[in-house]
Amino acid sequence: MFDRDRVNKLLPWISSPILLLVFLGAWQFAVSVAGVSPFILPSPAAVGDSLVTMFSSGTVWAHIKVTLIEVVVGFAIAVVIGTALGAILGRLPWLERALQPAMVAFQVLPKIALVPMFVILFGYGVTSKIVVTIILAFFPIMLNVLLGVRSVDRGHRDVMRGLGASRWQTFRDLELPSTLPYVFAGAEVGIVFAVIGAIVGEYLGANEGLGHLAFTSLNALDAPGLYAAIVLLSVLGVVLFFAVTLAKRLVIPWHESVTKM
């Protein structure tokens, strides 16, 4: 008997390797047949050799550690700030209307333009990169939490009050379960922006990290090294995204966004 749910769950495990093989095949075709210069697009084998060299020397682990710290710490702070601010603005519509122009102006401001200022203020270490990561990641989290708080049905709150529930009981049994899916929806977007923030910060002012490794490979005209660093950044981003998704599965296994995955 055809099991649609089982097929839907297995589909990513089937399609992802196929798409990867197609991508690698097209990449190799561009290098071998289309004649793209290896200085522009090195072959997958050359990038693989560069990855092996990086891990054999052991120096790449320090760069991975730095970027991972920047992303995780910045993302964690963004989750705390975004959740707290979103919850406050969701409960106080007048405050949201008062702060909305400033928030919109800050959000549309190109964050890359702020990186040199953060480097001047916090130096070339991880602090400036964490600040960039927080700024990029907290806004989608805050917006989703605000939407989640607003989505709690007022009638349900009235029922809780009618049953004599305290503010804490209303928050624990009604508002928190209703808002958590929105928190994780924002977190899934936020972790992607957190990785981008760390990379941008390392590109423009750093002496370590995967973004710095990619930048130095570019300056040295080491195309395989540049693409190897990009591969590592992609893998790191995917791992962190699935870590957030796993946390969502563990915290809200009852929600529709998890049961239909």
CA angle 118, 229, 54 (to 5 degrees): 120
Q: Up-side HSE of residue 243: CA atoms within 13 Å toward CB? A: 14
What is the pLDDT at residue 260? 66
Domain boundaries, the chain: 50-256
List of E strands, the chain: none
Q: What is the C-alpha separation between 141 and 189, in angstroms, rounded?
A: 8
Other CB atoms within 10 A of residue 105 CB: 9
Q: Give the mean pLDDT of the chain.
A: 84
CB 191 within 8 A of CB 197: no
**In the prediction, which pLDDT does 70 show?**
93
Rg value, the chain, Cα: 22
Q: Looking at residue 222, what is its pLDDT?
A: 86
Q: Is the pLDDT of residue 1 over 70?
A: no
Cα distances (Å, whole numbers) of residue 146 to 30, 83, 84, 139, 152: 47, 8, 9, 11, 11
| Architecture of the domain made up of 50-256 | Orthogonal Bundle (1.10)
Q: What per-residue string of b and e applies to 139-174 under the rule 16 or more CB within 10 Å gives b?
A: bbbbbbbbebbeebeeeeeeebeeeebeeeebbeeb
Chain centre distance of CA 205: 21
The predicted model scores a pTM of 0.86
Please give the single-letter amino acid code of residue 90.
Answer: G
Q: Which of 3-12, 53-62, 90-99, 210-219 has the lowest mean pLDDT?
A: 3-12
User: What is the structure's pLDDT at 241?
Assistant: 94
Mean pLDDT of 102-125: 78
In this predicted model, what pLDDT tens digit does every residue of 196-251 receive, in sequence order?
988 888 887 777 888 888 888 888 888 888 999 999 999 999 999 999 999 998 88
Distance CA 126, CA 104 (A): 27
Q: For position 261, what pLDDT does the model report?
A: 61
